[in-house]
Structure 1
Amino acid sequence: MSPAARRVGWVESPLQLINAVEAATHLDEPSLLLLRSGVAQLADTARWLEPHLPAGVELAEAASATDPRFRGAARRLVGDAFSGQFRAVVAATGVRDLVVVDDGSAALHLAAVLAGTEQFSRMGQREPLAQRTLGRVTGSRLRAASAAGRVTLFTAYASHRAMPVVPGASIVPNRYGWLRALDGGSPVALRPVVVLGSALAVDGYIATEDYEAWAAAHGPATYLPHRREDRASLERLRAAGLDVVEPGLPAEIVLGSARGLEEVRSLPSSTGATLARVLPVGAVLDVTAVPDAWWTDRADETFRATLTYLASADDASTEED
C-alpha cells in the first residue's frame, strides 16, 4: 500500500500508543503513528514497543497535529478527540475517515457526545471561551461524520453498560490481543500486591490527603505512579511504606508481563476495561469507588457519574476473543 493510503495517527500518551497499535493490528491497516514529542513516558514506551510492532505499523515523532502527514491524511486515527490540537485540525480540514482509540475513560464521554447527549468538551473541566468555541465546531463535525458512517470507535468499553448507541458509528471492541500475545519480559520487579497510581488527586478532582491515605493503607505493596504525579507526593508515599517503582512504561505493559502478581488495587479509571484484559492469569483487579467526601468542586456531576460507572471492573466488557 502506498504511503498516501496509510492511516495516519496522532498519539499524545503511552496508553493512546498501545491502543493505536492494537487498532492497526485488529483492523489490519498499514499505519503511521505520529507521537507528540516531549511527552513523559511516550518516547520510552515507543522504544520498548518498537521491536514488537506488527508489520505495516511505523512510529515517528511530530511536534504537533498540524504536521502535514496528519493534517493531509485522508484516513486518520486519534487518541484524544478533545485535544486542542486535534480540534484545530478538524476545524480547518473536517473529519474525513476517522478511527478514535481509547484515551482512558474519556471514550464513554466521547460516545455520549457523538450520540448527542453531551456537549463537546473535556470531561470534568470548565473550558475557556476559545476552547468552547472550537469545541462546538469540532463536536458538530464529528457528529455529522459519525452519522455518515465515517467514524470508528475502537474501544475496550464497547460492551460497557454506559456505552450509548452512537448513530452511524462503528464500535469495535479492543480486546488487547496484540499486547497479550507479546513476550517482552517483565521490565521491573513487583510485589504481589500493586497499588496503581491515579491522576485524580494531582488533577484536583479528589483531596490529596484522602488519596494518599488510601494508597498508604495497602502497604507493604508496590506503588506504580501515574506519570503526572509530583515528586513530593511520591516521597510521602515512600515514607508511608510503599515501594514506589517508576518504570517509565504504561501499567498495561508492566502489569501484563509481571510474574507472581496477585492483586492490583486502583481507583476508578480506564483500568477497569484495560487491565482486566491484560493481567496475568490469577491476578485480581480491585477497584475502589471514590467516597463522596473525597471529591472537590472541580469534579462536576458528569465526571463523577462516569467514574462511578467505572468503580466496578465487572461493568467493563470481559469478552474473550
Structure 2
Amino acid sequence: MSSRVGPHGGPTLAFVESPVQLLNVLEWAHTVVPSTLDDRPRPATPPAGVAGPDGSPAGNPPVTPPYEDFTVVVLSPLDPMTRGQLRRMAELASSEGCTVRWEEARGGASAPFQTIGGLTPLLRQAERIVIGDPFSRYVQLLLTLTKVRDIVVVDDGTATMEFITQLAEGQRLVRWHRRGGRPSPRDLAFGPVSRAARRRLTPGEGRRVEVFSSMPIDSAPEGVHLSANDFGWTRSRFGPPRLTQGADLVGTSLVETGVVDLDRYLVAVAELSAAHRATRYFAHRRESTEKLHRLSAETGLEIVRPDLPLELIARRGPIGRTILSFPSTVVHTLPLALAGTEVRVAVCDIDPAWLTAHASPRAQGFLSGVTGSARDVQRLGPAPASPGTAAG
C-alpha cells in the first residue's frame, strides 16, 4: 500500500464543503495510509461526540493518529442541515486521527478574507491538496494561491462525471444543471480565477492530478490518474445492517435546483412508494421543509432527516431490503457500501414531462446517463406523474 499521506509524502491539505465530500476524503485516505487503526474494534454506530478521559470519542479506544501532516479543512456552508451532517462527519474524521480545522468561511462579509488569510501558510506548506468540489468558487480561489503539484479530486457525487468531461474538452467548469444558460455578471467577473483553477486541475509537466471516484468513469483526460472508491472504509467501520421487510425511498434535491416540477415530483413519489410499499423517505439535506411537510401529508411517508451521509446510515441500519431512488449519486454508491448484504437498490427514471421550463437543455441526457451507467441496480420506468393523482 502506497503512502502518499503522512511523513513520507509531505503535508496534505483537504478542503471539503459537504458531508459526502468529507466521507470520500476518508475513503481516499483509507486506501493510501498504512493505518494502525484498521484492526481496532469499532462501535456499530458513529461516535456521539462525547469525549472520553483521553479526549477521544466515548466508546472508542484511544486514537493513534496515522494521518500525520494530514489536515482536513471544513469550509462550512450556511445551510443548517449540511452543517449538522458536517459536524458529525468531522467527529468521525477526528476519531480516525485526522486533524480537522473548521472554518466559518461564509460567516459574514469579512469571513472569506479571514479564512483565506488563515489558510495561506498551510497552502504554502502543502505538498498535496485534496478537494471535494472542483466547481466551488471558494476552492477554485484557494487553488490559485498554491503552487502545489499534486492534486486529488474526490467524489462530490455525479458532478464528478461532468468535471471529467469538461476538463477533457477544455470547457469552463460549471455545474451540469446550470449549463446552457448565459454566464451571469458574477460568472464573468470570476472568469480569470476559474480559468486559473482549471489550469491547476489540468495535468502537466511536474503536475499530478488524481480523481478518486465511485462513479462509472471509463476514460479520463490524458495524464489524469483514476483510482476507484469501493467504500472500503465504510464497510470496515459499520454494519452489516439489520434489514427491515419494507422499502425505503431516497429523496432528491432536483426540485430545489429547478430541474423537476414540484407537483409532478410529489405525485411520482406517491405512486412509487405505493407500488413498492415504501414507509420511509430519507430526505436530501437540501430539500426544503415546506416540500417535505407537503410530501408527508400527501403520501403518508415517514420523513427521515439523516444526520450522516446515506451510505453510512444504510450501512449501520436498520434499512429496508429495497431502497428506491431517482437518478442521483446514491444509485452508484449504495451498491458499493452495501456489498455483501441482501439490500436491493432500484432506480426510477425521470420522465421528460417532469422537467421545468427552466431546466438545462442537458438535464434529461445527464439524468438518463446517471441511471444508464449505474451498476448492480434494478431499473424502473418513470412513475406516473400527472398532477392530481397523488394518493392521500
Verify same fold: TM over 0.5.
yes
For each residue in 1:86-120, what CA deviation from the matched residue of structure 2 results, as whole angstroms up to 9, or x when unmatched? 11122343553111000010100111122126432
Greater Cα offset, 269-278 or 33-42:
33-42
In structure 1, the partner of 2:384 is none
User: 1:61 matched to which residue of 2?
Assistant: 102
Q: Which moved more, 1:241-250 or 1:295-304?
A: 295-304
Aligned to 1:36: 75
Percent identical residues: 26
| Equivalence map 1:3-42=2 (5 Å) | 5-28=10-33, 30=67, 31-37=70-76, 38-39=78-79, 40-42=81-83
Give the match's secondary structure for 1:112. Answer: helix
The residue identity in structure 2 corresponding to 1:71 is L
CA distance in 2, matches of 1:10, 1:229: 24
Name the CA distance, whole Å, in 1 between partners of 2:362 and 2:376.
Answer: 18
Q: Could you tell me how far apart the structure 2 residues matched to 1:10 and 1:312 are?
A: 31
- Alpha-carbon separation, structure 2, partners of 1:294 and 1:59: 41
Question: Which one is further off, 70-79 or 270-279?
Answer: 70-79
Residue 164 (structure 1) aligned with residue 219 (structure 2) = yes
Q: Is the 8 A contact 1:191 1:221 kept in 2?
A: no
Q: Which residue does 1:71 correspond to in 2?
A: 123
Give deviations 1:168-200, integer Å, cap 9, x for gaps. 0110000000001113797x9977311101010
Aligned to 1:250: 309
Partner AA of 2:158 in structure 1 = S
Unmatched runs of 5 consecutive residues or more in structure 2? 1-5, 35-66, 106-114, 378-392
Deviations 1:147-169 (A, max 9, x none): 75511100002xx2x54332101
Report the Cα distance in structure 2 between the residues aligned to 1:95 and 1:310, rounded to whole angstroms.
Answer: 33
Letter in 1 for 2:73: L
In 2 relative to 1, CA 15–84 (structure 1 residues): closer, same or farther, beyond 3 Å?
Answer: same
1:292 aligns with 352
Give the C-alpha shift of residue 62 in structure 1.
1.7
Structure 1 stretch 121-130 or stretch 197-206: which is displaced more? 121-130
2:228 corresponds to which letter in structure 1? Answer: P
SS in 1 for 2:198: helix
Structure 1 CA distance, aligned partners of 2:99 and 2:268? 41
State the 1:2 CA deviation.
5.3
1:195–1:265 CA contact under 8 A, matched in 2: yes
Listed one character per residue, the Cα deviations across residues 61-87 of structure 1 (whole Å, up to 9, x for unaligned) are 123473236533231110000101111
Letter in 2 for 1:62: E
* Contact 2:72 2:101 (8 Å CA) reproduced: yes
Task: Show structure 1 runs of 5+ residues with no match.
Answer: none
Q: Number of aligned residue pairs: give it.
A: 312
Counterpart secondary structure, 2:305: coil
Q: Give yes or no for contact 2:88–2:308 (8 Å, CA) kept in 1.
A: no
SS at match of 2:143: helix
Larger radius of gyration: 2
Alpha-carbon distance in 2 for matches of 1:53, 1:25: 14
Describe how 1:138-287 pairs up with structure 2 within 5 A.
138-143=197-202, 145=203, 149-157=207-215, 160=216, 163-183=218-238, 192-217=246-271, 218-219=273-274, 220-240=278-298, 241-259=300-318, 261-279=320-338, 281-287=341-347
CA contact 1:147–1:167 (8 Å) conserved in 2: no
Partner Cα separation in structure 2 for residue 55 and residue 48 of structure 1: 11
Decide whether the 8 Å contact of 1:9 with 1:20 is kept in 2: yes
Tell me the secondary structure at the aligned position of residue 88 of structure 2.
helix
The structure-2 alpha-carbon separation of the partners of 1:151 and 1:297, relative to structure 1 and needing over 3 Å to count, comes to farther
Measured at CA, do residues 57 and 285 of structure 1 come closer, stay the same or move farther in structure 2, by a change above 3 Å? Answer: same
For structure 1, which segment, 90-99 or 264-273, has the greater mean C-alpha deviation from structure 2 after superposition? 90-99
Equivalent position amino acid for 1:286 in 2: A
Query: Alignment partner of 2:23: what SS?
Result: helix
The one-letter code matched in structure 1 to 2:364 is R
